[in-house]
Amino acid sequence: MKGFKDFVLRGNVVELAVAVVIATAFGAVVKAMVDVIMSIVGKVGNQPKFDEWRPAGIPLGAFITALVAFLILAAVVYFFIVKPYTLAKERLFPAEPEAETIDPNTELLKEIRDSLRARPNL
Q: The domain spanning residue 87 has which CATH number?
A: 1.10.1200
Average pLDDT over residues 92-117: 83
Domains contained in the chain, number = 1
- Would the pTM count as exceeding 0.75? no
Backbone angles phi, psi at 49, to 5 degrees: -135, 155
Query: Model confidence over 2-45: pLDDT tens digits?
Result: 777 777 666 677 677 778 888 888 888 878 887 787 778 777 76
> 73 is in which domain, residue-wise?
2-118
Contact 65, 38 (CB under 8 A): yes
